[in-house]
Amino acid sequence: MRASVLFLAAALARFTQAVTPLVIKDAGFFSNDEQFFLVGVGYQPGGPVELDQGVDPFSNLEGCQRDVYLLQQLGINTIRTYAVNTTLNHDACMSLFAAAGIYVVLDVNAPGWRYSVNREEPWTSYHAGYMANIFSVMEQFSPYPNVLGFFSGNELANEPKNANATAPYMRAIQRDMRQYQQAHKLREVPIGYSTADVVEFRQDLGFYLSCTGDDEGHSDFYGINSYEWCGDTTFEKSGYKTLTDLMKDVQMPNFFSEYGCNEVLPRTFGDANAIYSADMNTVFSGGIVYEFNQEANNYGLVDVDPKTGDAKILPDYVTLRDVYSKVSLPTGNTARKISRPKCSDVFPKIKAFDARAAIPQIDDITKLIKTGVKVTAGQLIDVDLDLTGHKWTITDVSGNQIQNPTITRVNTWNQVPQGAQTTGSNDSKESKNAAVGTKVGGGHTALVFAMAGLTTLGMLVGGLLVI
Ligand SMILES: *[C@@H]1O[C@H](CO)[C@@H](O)[C@H](O)[C@H]1NC(C)=O
Ligand SMILES: *[C@@H]1O[C@H](CO)[C@@H](O)[C@H](O)[C@H]1NC(C)=O
Ligand SMILES: *[C@@H]1O[C@H](CO)[C@@H](O)[C@H](O)[C@H]1NC(C)=O
């Protein structure tokens, strides 16, 4: 291991912070003892293409450098990524996001019939091969301390008529994921589900996924993809008040896993103000705006030319940056107390679908949970934040090229200060990382942290902040 030098820099971005693994307490996410609100955007450069061409969102360092710069300037602390390919190496990009103080909520599914559930006939797609890919995502990404959570599924039920067929699979997949986590002693990254905002079942599905039963199939959190707030509207008129009232009764943390209606253009993102306000912040832990990259569906903030890597900032980026720059996150703890119901109490009351249907269980999957999957576990590495060699260009909304973009480092790791504490044990996997952070300064402004990484020698060394 190299000599110890603590690299310290102050963050400019307001919400970025040490990427200490978050934990859930009551209905909130916490970093150490401080409540965490997701201020995010969806991030899937290249769009939802099949990931068999040797690239995915975290495999191309040049692209990640450009986007981490843009995301940090946007003022976010979280991205949601919809699909990755674990045959690729993600250490450099994930380290770059970690260095910039950005968390990732990751969907464990991927496009293609082998890697996702067929919502009309889920029994045809739920098998050991399908779960093997999910387990490999967990093995590879759990060691990164900035992985905030895993989505077991996204909009598996998207209309009332497929809720019956799909709901038992949501619990089955979450059960398998949780059992895998325990069997292989992975970091207990929270496992949740991202639902479509379908009025007929959004609350009932929340009840269904929140309850604890014999199957360990519950969600740790519930994301909702909601496009109700369109144009110039209000908390009451948009439907957000109704949604908040419904989700208040769902006994787990909630957040917007997608938001940002584009039916009225240009978007003004007025809902961002509502989401973090007292009207909603006891129920929702923030949200994720859909989405960073421009695609045919026209939700993008930035238009990237896939050939050259050149990026154009779109007007919505500027609007969202201004909105996020004025949002004030709640101070103190606003997470409501929750108490998880028992499934046996909840299921008889669910009207939207047959909640009492059996949860599928497949022997090959049970075996796979025991034997495990082979994949390279991720780890944070030294990463160069210097952008001077970049080949891409970024132009602003007026067409001017941005000069000397720089990324601000918020976190360091694998730096071993003199007298560092040993906090770990030897029984963990070789690349399992943990992080400790010590906050300096107040509010959400100048945060400086040190992190600890587990070296390949298997010794966890706690990084202590020296300033
Ligand atoms: C990952 O890439 C490999 C090699 O191209 C491919 O065989 C595999 O199907 C891809 N996995 C996913 C999840 O797309
Ligand atoms: C869902 O299953 C229940 C119980 O079997 C049934 O009564 C209901 O009609 C089904 N709903 C749909 C939309 O198929
Ligand atoms: C790790 O293993 C080494 C060698 O077996 C031992 O000396 C050390 O005390 C162990 N450390 C911890 C934290 O268990």
Instruction: Look at residue 362 and tell me whether its pLDDT is greater than 50.
Output: yes
User: Where is pLDDT greater, at 424 or 343?
Assistant: 343
Percentage of residues of the chain with pLDDT beyond 70 = 85
Instruction: Look at residue 384 and tell me whether its pLDDT is greater than 60.
Output: yes
The yes-or-no answer on residue 200 being catalytic is: no
From the CB of 427, is ligand 3 less than 6 Å away? no
CA distance 318 to 269: 11
Distance 140 CA to ligand 1 centre (A): 15
Tokens representing 46 are 């290249």
Which is the closest atom of ligand 1 to the Cα of 115?
13
Instruction: Provide the pLDDT for residue 421.
Output: 32
| Predicted confidence band of residue 15 (pLDDT cuts 50, 70, 90) | low
- Which whole number is the average pLDDT over 167-179? 98
The HSE-up count of residue 79 (CA atoms within 13 Å, CB side) is 27
CA distance 264 to 271: 13
Estimate to the nearest angstrom the gap between the alpha carbon of 281 and the chain centroid. 18
Tokens representing 20 are 């200490």
CA distance 229 to 360: 37
pTM equals 0.85
Instruction: Look at residue 127 and tell me whether its pLDDT is greater than 80.
Output: yes
- Which whole number is the average pLDDT over 382-406? 94
Q: Is the peptide bond before 266 cis (omega within 30 degrees of 0)?
A: yes
Please name every residue paired with 293 in a beta bridge, in sequence order, or none if there are none: 302
Residue 400 sits at φ, ψ, to 5 deg, of -85, 140
Nearest to 137 by CA among 171, 100, 97, 104: 104
| Predicted confidence band of residue 47 (pLDDT cuts 50, 70, 90) | confident
Distance 57 CA to ligand 1 centre (A): 14
Q: Is-contact 427 185, C-beta < 8 A? A: yes
CA angle 287, 292, 293 (to 5 degrees): 150
The residue segments making up the domain with residue 314 are 5-465
Handedness of CA 196, 67, 135, 182 (dihedral sign): negative
Instruction: Provide the pLDDT for residue 428.
Output: 32
Tokens representing 241 are 């008040």
Burial class (CB in 10 A: 0-12, 13-18, 19+), 358: exposed
Instruction: Provide the pLDDT for residue 413.
Output: 77
Instruction: Look at residue 444 and tell me whether its pLDDT is greater than 90.
Output: no
Which residues 6+ apart lie within 8 Å of 389 measured at CB? none
Distance 87 CA to ligand 1 centre (A): 7
The yes-or-no answer on residue 258 being catalytic is: yes
Which CATH number covers residue 404? 3.20.20.80
pLDDT one-digit tens code per residue, 395-420: 999 999 999 999 999 988 754 433 33
Instruction: Look at residue 250 and tell me whether its pLDDT is greater than 90.
Output: yes
Give how many domains the chain has, as a whole number: 1
| Predicted confidence band of residue 458 (pLDDT cuts 50, 70, 90) | very low
Instruction: Look at residue 193 and tell me whether its pLDDT is greater than 90.
Output: yes
Instruction: Provide the pLDDT for residue 212.
Output: 97
| Predicted confidence band of residue 463 (pLDDT cuts 50, 70, 90) | very low
